[in-house]
């Protein structure tokens, strides 16, 4: 199963349209981690569930979504309400409380993938306004390949190309 995760496009609808058109037949689900700065009723969100970001003013997006994707529990949140700029503890507590297998979040504009205590945490970075070590790439999103024994996280750039050095594999703990 493959999950596409994107976040923080900040009004750049065209990049979301390109991503959706390019990957709609090669992934099982696409999710958006907030700060789209688009209307909640935009047709793009019919095939790409989204959550509320700190810049989605006046839009009634859900604060978080817990999605059943196959047998996986995918928690989607922006991260600002869990203060992810300062600590991952609040996000970890929420993930444990929701019995999530995978957590998709944004807000920091910096890509990250961590596997801890049986939960995969993926920040795709910002597709439009990246920060940090990989800002030079001009924006990123991620595709998570979920297997019974491992997670593979592959990051992509705005040209829809996989970034070879940003392919991460995590062996899953046995339950």
Q: Which two tokens stand for residue 97?
A: 């409380």
Confidence class of residue 174 from pLDDT cuts 50, 70 and 90? confident
Domain count, the chain: 1
- For residue 79, which of 118, 127, 124, 40 has the smallest C-alpha distance? 124
Confidence class of residue 175 from pLDDT cuts 50, 70 and 90? low
- Phi and psi angles of residue 111, each rounded to the nearest 5 degrees, phi first: -70, 150
pTM of the full predicted structure? 0.98
Residue found under tokens 């995918």:
74
Confidence class of residue 28 from pLDDT cuts 50, 70 and 90? very high
Q: What is the CATH number of the domain that holds 75?
A: 3.60.21.10
Average pLDDT over residues 93-99: 98
| Tens-place pLDDT, residues 104-151 | 999 999 999 999 999 999 999 999 999 999 999 999 999 999 999 999
Average pLDDT over residues 10-15: 98
- Percentage of the chain beyond pLDDT 90 is 98
Confidence class of residue 65 from pLDDT cuts 50, 70 and 90? very high
- For residue 141, which of 1, 11, 20 has the smallest C-alpha distance? 20
Domain that holds residue 81: 2-171
Give the separation between CA 93 and CA 99, rounded to whole angstroms: 10
């Amino acid at each position: 199963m493959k999950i596409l995760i994107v976040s923080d496009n900040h009004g750049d609808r065209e990049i979301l349209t390109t991503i959706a058109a390019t990957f709609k037949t090669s992934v099982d689900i696409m999710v958006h981690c907030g700060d789209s700065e688009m209307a909640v009723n935009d047709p793009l969100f019919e095939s790409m569930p989204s959550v509320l970001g700190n810049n989605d003013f006046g839009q009634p997006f859900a604060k978080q979504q817990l999605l059943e994707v196959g047998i996986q529990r995918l928690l989607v949140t922006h991260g600002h309400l869990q203060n992810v700029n300062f600590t991952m503890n609040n996000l970890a507590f929420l993930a444990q409380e929701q019995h999530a297998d995978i957590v998709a979040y944004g807000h920091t504009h910096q890509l990250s993938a961590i596997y801890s205590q049986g939960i995969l945490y993926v920040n795709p970075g910002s597709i439009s306004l990246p920060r940090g070590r990989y800002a030079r790439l001009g924006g990123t999103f991620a595709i998570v390949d979920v297997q019974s024994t491992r997670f593979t996280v592959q990051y992509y750039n705005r040209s829809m190309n996989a970034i070879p050095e940003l392919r991460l594999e995590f062996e899953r703990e046995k339950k």
